[in-house]
Amino acid sequence: MPRPSAREQIVQAGLKCLATKGFNGVGVQDITDTAGVPKGSFYNHFESKEALGAEIVERYGADKRRRELLTDKSIPPLERLRRHYERLSTVCADARFERGCILGNFSAELSNQSEVIRDSLRRLYERWTKDVEATIAEAQEQGAVSKALTAAELAAFLLDAYEGALLRARVERDNRAFERFMKFAFSKLLV
């Protein structure tokens, strides 16, 4: 198997470091040390740590695995939504609640600090909301979810509530916030 490029090593190391310690808690040297590349390699590939952060957000959003479950028409739409959020929650729990979600972490830490990253996050949240919205609309058309609220309203609320649950789970280092999210989302809201 070919060795990953220095750029790819930097991106992967950046994701690991930034997800664990936060944007402001990590320096370029930390990233290059983790990547096993000289510090000069970083600047051959990225203008700044901010540029790396924006690329990480874009890649996170482009990850097809996040979208494939929501668009799998072989599974009923409400079940797809449930599995989508269960899968996301499992990833956080598997990381022992140390990492959280790079989107939530960057949103809390950088929304007033970096316009470039804030704009990347905004676009990603919009895409994610549209994917959830389409799945909810499908469930509404099948009669599995009430039309009392629009699919757009439900999707935005679910994303907001999930990101809040994720932050709280990280603080409390347990799954209770996810359990509450799932309970209310799937037994009270999406009915």
Average pLDDT over all residues of the chain:
90
**pLDDT tens readout for residues 66-93:** 788 999 999 999 999 999 999 888 876 6
The pLDDT value recorded for residue 102 is 79
Reported confidence tier of residue 108, pLDDT bands at 50, 70, 90:
confident
Q: How far apart are CA 52 and CA 56, in angstroms?
A: 6
- All domains of the chain, ordered by start, with CATH? 6-46 (1.10.10.60), 64-189 (1.10.357.10)
Say yes or no to pLDDT of 2 above 90. Answer: no
**pLDDT tens readout for residues 22-71:** 899 999 999 999 999 999 999 999 999 999 999 999 888 887 777 889 99
Helix-helix angle 28-35:6-21, to 10 degrees: 120
CA 130 to chain centre: 14
Q: Average pLDDT of 118-129?
A: 93
**pLDDT tens readout for residues 146-184:** 999 999 999 999 999 999 998 888 888 888 999 999 999
**Hey, what are 117's tokens?**
């990253």
Element (H, E) at 74: none
Say yes or no to pLDDT of 96 above 80. Answer: no
Say yes or no to pLDDT of 1 above 60. Answer: no
Q: How far apart are CA 74 and CA 69, in angstroms?
A: 10
pTM value is: 0.86
Q: How far apart are CA 73 and CA 84, in angstroms?
A: 14
Residues ≥6 apart with Cβ < 8 Å to 133: 151, 152, 154, 155, 156
Instruction: From 105, 82, 80, select the one nearest 184 (Cα to Cα).
Output: 82
Helix-helix angle 6-21:102-110, to 10 degrees: 70
Q: Where are the alpha helices (DSSP H) in the chain?
A: 6-21, 28-35, 39-45, 49-62, 64-68, 77-94, 102-110, 115-141, 151-172, 176-184
Instruction: From 132, 125, 150, select the one nearest 140 (Cα to Cα).
Output: 150
Q: Over the Cα atoms of the chain, what is R_g?
A: 18
